């Protein structure tokens, strides 16, 4: 079978190669026929009619065979080309069909994985929230008992020191649990942007009152704006307290700049030990803790939580730092003028 196909292919190639030669021969044969006919008519003798008929038949037969030969060869060549093109198109269609099927299957798999991830995230958030509530209750009870012990007058110095240590570590443990619950809720989408009108100057004036942050508040009057004051206050309070903790000996730099009509840029800087390039790269990753460095403020989840809250507000939390040169955190968010403030300005 393979040899037959090879012979057929060789014959087809030969016919295709010489098809134009066949056409040319057919034309020459036709011209010869015309010459024979005129020769017999003009120079024919008594047997002219017989000679004319014989020569004409031979010439016509030869021309017909050559013309048929040329037509067949040309048709076979075109048919083979069309067949090859159809086969190529068929292979392309088959590959495209297979690709579409694979893409559909991959999309379905991704959709299932995404749905499973959503369910897993919601289940994790619910579990961690419930677990945090269950752990927080006994911790509050312990801290309450510790507070009662601290009020006793008959405690020795050693006993008082132990009680104070229990209180301090209990508060730290409670804060860590609260952070875990909070970032779990954020990742599950339970913390959303709650837009409302508030006075930006009043929010700035209220920062740092319950902490030890030492900073100069921007004294410009910004008036009423629209945004989420809860998220904004949480981020600024954390950044200011972190800067104060990292910068025990120096003042905290705090600035607020209005950029354009609705955008406000916040910046908090310190003169603390700063961060290495590696620590700076991983700063906003949950549970990241730099090793072998002084890590004031760079603990656990707090920076990851602040970063996610700024993202919810539509901004991006950034940090500039070099070892020994402190840190500068900044972000910008859109705070359009409140409806009443717009009317007054109008």
Average pLDDT over residues 165-176: 82
Mean pLDDT of 232-245: 90
Does the pLDDT value for residue 50 go beyond 60?
Answer: no
Q: Distance (Å, rounded) from C-alpha 61 to C-alpha 67? A: 10
- Cα–Cα distances (Å) from 135 to 28, 116, 132, 176, in that order, read 107, 28, 5, 11
> Which range (44-48, 199-203, 268-272) has the least confidence?
44-48
Say how far apart CA 313 and CA 309 lie, in whole Å.
6
Top mean-pLDDT range of 139-143, 149-153, 169-173, 237-241:
237-241
Angle at 334 between CA 333 and CA 337, to 5 degrees: 140
CA 330, chain centre distance (Å): 24
Min mean pLDDT across 54-58, 140-144, 220-224 is at 54-58
- Is pLDDT above 90 for 232? yes
Instruction: Work out the pLDDT band at 295, boundaries 50, 70, 90.
Output: very low
pLDDT, tens digit (0-9, with 9 covering 90-100), for 240-252: 888 888 876 667 8
Q: What is the pTM of this model?
A: 0.58
Question: Which of these ranges, 91-95, 175-179, 289-293, 324-328, has the smallest mean pLDDT?
Answer: 289-293
- From 239, 230, 218, 221, select the one nearest 193 (Cα to Cα): 230
The residue-averaged pLDDT of 301-306 equals 88
Strand pairing category for 224-227 and 253-259: unpaired
pLDDT, position 8? 47
Q: What pLDDT, in 10s, does the model give residues 100-128? A: 878 888 888 887 776 666 666 666 666 66
Average pLDDT of every residue of the chain: 75
In the prediction, which pLDDT does 293 show? 46
- Mean pLDDT over 41-46 rounds to 52
Query: Would you say residue 2 has pLDDT above 50?
Result: no
For the cut 80, the answer to whether the pLDDT of residue 336 exceeds it is: yes
Better pLDDT: 333 or 94: 333
Are the C-beta atoms of residues 319 and 328 closer than 8 Å to each other? yes
Token pair for residue 235? 């981020």
Separation between Cα atoms, residue 179 and residue 181, nearest integer Å: 5
Give me the pLDDT at residue 261, please. 83
Span 11-24, pLDDT tens digits: 555 555 555 665 66
Q: Does domain 196-345 have CATH number 3.30.565.10?
A: yes
Report the sign of the C-alpha dihedral through residues 317, 188, 176, 171, in that order: positive
Tell how far CA 107 is from the center of its chain.
16
Domain boundaries, the chain: 1-190, 196-345
Alpha helices in 151-228 (DSSP H): 157-187, 200-205
Give phi and psi for 215, each to the nearest 5. Answer: -160, 160
Q: How far is CA 141 from CA 135, 146, 168, 318, in A?
A: 10, 9, 14, 39
Q: Which pLDDT value is given to residue 300? A: 59
Mean pLDDT value of segment 227-247: 89
Non-local (6+) Cβ contacts of 140 within 8 A are: 174
């Amino acid at each position: 079978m393979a040899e037959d196909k090879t012979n057929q292919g060789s014959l087809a190639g030969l016919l295709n190669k010489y098809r134009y030669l066949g056409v040319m021969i057919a034309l020459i044969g036709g011209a010869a026929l015309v010459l024979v006919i005129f020769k017999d008519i003009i120079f024919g003798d008594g047997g002219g009619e017989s000679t004319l008929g014989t020569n004409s038949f031979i010439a016509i037969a030869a021309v017909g065979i050559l013309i048929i030969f040329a037509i067949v060869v040309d048709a076979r060549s075109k048919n083979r080309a069309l067949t090859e093109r159809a086969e190529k198109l068929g292979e392309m269609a088959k590959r495209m069909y297979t690709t579409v099927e694979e893409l559909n299957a991959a999309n379905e798999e991704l959709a299932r994985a995404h749905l499973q991830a959503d369910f897993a995230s919601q289940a994790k958030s619910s579990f961690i929230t419930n677990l945090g509530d269950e752990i927080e209750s006994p911790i509050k009870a312990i801290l309450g008992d510790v507070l009662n012990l601290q009020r006793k007058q008959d405690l020795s110095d050693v006993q008082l020191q132990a009680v104070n240590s229990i209180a301090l570590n209990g508060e730290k443990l409670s804060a860590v649990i609260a952070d875990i619950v909070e970032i779990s809720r954020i990742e599950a989408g339970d913390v959303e942007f709650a837009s409302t009108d508030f006075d930006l100057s009043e929010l700035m004036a209220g920062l740092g009152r319950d902490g030890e942050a030492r900073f100069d508040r921007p004294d410009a009057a910004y008036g009423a704006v629209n945004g989420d004051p809860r998220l904004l206050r949480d981020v600024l309070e954390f950044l200011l307290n972190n800067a104060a903790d990292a910068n025990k000996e120096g003042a905290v730099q705090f600035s607020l700049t209005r950029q354009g009509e609705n955008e406000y840029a916040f910046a908090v800087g310190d003169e603390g030990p700063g961060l290495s390039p590696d620590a700076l790269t991983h700063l906003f990753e949950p549970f990241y803790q730099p090793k072998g460095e002084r890590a004031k403020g760079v603990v656990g989840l707090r920076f990851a939580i602040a970063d996610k809250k700024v993202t919810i507000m539509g901004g991006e939390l950034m940090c500039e730092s070099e070892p020994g040169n402190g840190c500068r955190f900044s972000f910008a968010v859109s705070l359009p003028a409140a409806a009443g403030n717009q009317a007054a300005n109008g």
